[in-house]
Amino acid sequence: MRIAMAAAECAPFVKTGGLADVMGALPKALAELGHEVMVILPKYTLISAEYEKAFQFKGDLEVPFKGQREAHSIFEYRMNGVQFVFVENDAYYARDQIYSQADDAERFAFFSRAVLAVLEAETEALDVLHVHDWHTAMLPFLLKEDEQYAALRPKTKTVLTIHNLQFQGYYSKETAMEEFELAARYFEEGLIEWRGNFNMLKTGILYADQVTTVSPSYRDEILTESYGENLQTLLQKRAEDLVGILNGVDTVSYNPAADLMIEMPYDQTTMERKAVNKRAVQLRFHLPEQGDIPLLTMVSRLAGQKGIDVLEETLPKLLKTQDVQFVLLGSGEAKYEQFFRQLAEEHPEKIAVHVGFDEELAHLLYAGADIFLMPSHFEPCGLSQLVSMIYGTVPVANKTGGLKDTVVEYDEVLRSGNGFLSDFEEQQSFEDALKRALNMYHHAEHWEIIKRNGMEGDYSWSRSAEEYSRLYEKLSNKQE
């Protein structure tokens, strides 16, 4: 099948979070199944020169936008059997960050038109257009409602993946009419209106042929008032076309046996080498070099979703009652950054903080830590718990979304399970889950079993890609 994907970011070219990881791995896995895959992206000036110098100029393409047709340069790069197409427009993409710009609506409105212009220029028919999150969610609408794209409609089916329902692309009616050139009737008929304004993700949910989320449990959660972000009624109406497919992990990038970013590679047969990575973390952050003290870590955005408020309650008490070490890698809300900095100042022998992001350090923390913390209030999928288990680091997580689908409470009788879980909905605290983990850490035989159980799991994209492939085939064969 011929599949095109459109997204705001994609690893390794430009990344702010999990969306980029998915876009870097899923197309590759689909290509390995024999599909012809194209990924269309903005050509950000943030993309490193290492990649940009390898891009091939493919020509100029006219993009109809806001009543004009302007030529914009198109570049191509092929990697892992995938064709990557980059649309250049320095007025929109020569920025120091991808999101949170005053003209985001205009930037992604242009990109939507550019994606369709790229597809129009293709000589072969497209089977599936797969768009991701609110940034590209208007594409199914434009494809079905704008007559200039009529030639693309007969065969092309659309899929929208919701990576995080919390972010919806919410703008004024005036913005929609100006940037997307939408007729007033679309508001009057309620097709794109939401609470008197314009909602890009809502429009995509309404118009896409198929809607997916990044885990089965998150799919069920967003149908409820608690997790539906005020779109649950619409999602309930589309429940038959809503599927949860669990994300995978790029097991080439994340492989402790061949990872050049860690101190010493290891696998299940050489688990003693993991201790070398633990010592490397302790040395880097000037923590006491003690192998018998549990080392906890967290690699995360510092946002309310991630349960930092839970750690504000849990960590101070833990430090008073347990002999542990904790290293944080992350950035986000200033109040949370300050909390961790203050805690590190008060307990320099136990806590270290690196505000920001460092890919190499992240790998070292996955490899060197004993326990990985994920107290998320909601988590559409989560990749960190999967990566931590690949590296033999035991996750302690809250039972929600993708965490619920991947982390299984350890049963010391059956010797099954790969981590420890809290359940905020059932008043089961994260503190109690962490205490269970720390208690089991001191039972070496059980701890080794938990680590190995985690490492033996299949977290590759091949499983998920096969599910997407079946979905595409079913959708392509579906009659209108």
- pLDDT, one tens digit per residue, over 357-367 is 898 999 999 99
pLDDT at 356 over 60: yes
Which residue in 392, 396, 391 sits closest to 437, CA to CA? 396
State the average pLDDT for the chain.
Answer: 95
Which residue in 454, 445, 262 sits closest to 372, CA to CA? 454
Residue-level pLDDT at 123: 85
Mean pLDDT of 115-137: 95
Mean pLDDT of 33-44: 98
Domains and CATH numbers, the chain: 2-248+462-477 (3.40.50.2000), 271-458 (3.40.50.2000)
Residue-level pLDDT at 256: 98
Mean pLDDT of 92-101: 94
Residue-level pLDDT at 307: 97
Pairing of strands 394-398, 420-422: parallel
pLDDT at 67 over 90: no
For residues 43-65, one letter each, b for 16 or more C-beta atoms within 10 angstroms of the residue's C-beta and e for the rest, the string is bbebbeeeeeeebeeeeebebbb
The pLDDT tens digits for 200-239 are 999 999 999 999 999 999 999 999 999 999 999 999 999 9
Percent of the chain with pLDDT over 90: 89
How many angstroms separate the Cα of 400 from the Cα of each of 22, 212, 224, 264, 421? 20, 17, 13, 33, 10
φ/ψ of 257, rounded to 5, equals -80, -15
Tokens standing for residue 7 = 């997204």
How many angstroms separate the Cα of 155 from the Cα of each of 33, 126, 150, 151, 357? 21, 7, 11, 9, 42
More confident residue, 170 or 188: 170
CB 446 within 8 A of CB 415: yes
pLDDT at 332 over 90: yes
pLDDT at 181 over 60: yes
Which residue in 221, 229, 238 sits closest to 194, CA to CA? 229
The pLDDT tens digits for 414-441 are 999 999 999 999 999 999 999 999 999 9
Percent of the chain with pLDDT over 70: 100
Residue-level pLDDT at 179: 87
Q: How confident is the model at residue 333 (pLDDT cuts 50, 70, 90)?
A: very high
Please check if 320 is assigned to a binding site: no
How many angstroms separate the Cα of 9 from the Cα of each of 41, 47, 137, 219? 7, 10, 14, 23
CB 250 within 8 A of CB 21: yes
Residue-level pLDDT at 479: 62
Q: How confident is the model at residue 64 (pLDDT cuts 50, 70, 90)?
A: very high
For residues 382-409, one letter each, b for 16 or more C-beta atoms within 10 angstroms of the residue's C-beta and e for the rest, the string is bbbbbbbbbbbbbbbbbbbbbbbbbbbe
Residue-level pLDDT at 152: 87
Residue-level pLDDT at 186: 82
The pLDDT tens digits for 404-413 are 999 999 999 9
In SS3 terms, the chain reads as CEEEEECCCECCCECCCHHHHHHHHHHHHHHHCCCEEEEEEECCCCCCHHHHCCCEEEEEEEEEECCEEEEEEEEEEEECCEEEEEECCHHHHCCCCCCCCCCHHHHHHHHHHHHHHHHHCCCCCCCEEEEECHHHCCHHHHHHHCHHHHHHCCCCEEEEEECCCCCCCEECHHHHHHHCCCCCHHHHCCCCEECCEEEHHHHHHHHCCEEEECCHHHHHHCCCCCCCCCCHHHHHHCHHHEEECCCCECCCCCCCCCCCCCCCCCCCCCHHHHHHHHHHHHHHCCCCCCCCCCEEEEEEEECHHHCHHHHHHHHHHHHHHCCCEEEEEEEECHHHHHHHHHHHHHCCCCEEEEECCCHHHHHHHHHHCCEEEECCCCCCCCCHHHHHHHCCCEEEEECCHHHHHHCCECECCCCECCEEEEEHHHCECHHHHHHHHHHHHCCHHHHHHHHHHHHCCCCEHHHHHHHHHHHHHHHHHCCC
Which residue in 379, 384, 327 sits closest to 216, CA to CA? 379
Residue-level pLDDT at 169: 95
In this predicted structure, which of 8-12, 305-309, 365-369, 476-480 has the lowest mean pLDDT?
A: 476-480
Mean pLDDT of 244-251: 95
Q: How confident is the model at residue 480 (pLDDT cuts 50, 70, 90)?
A: low
Q: 14 has which bridge partners? A: 10
Q: How confident is the model at residue 177 (pLDDT cuts 50, 70, 90)?
A: confident
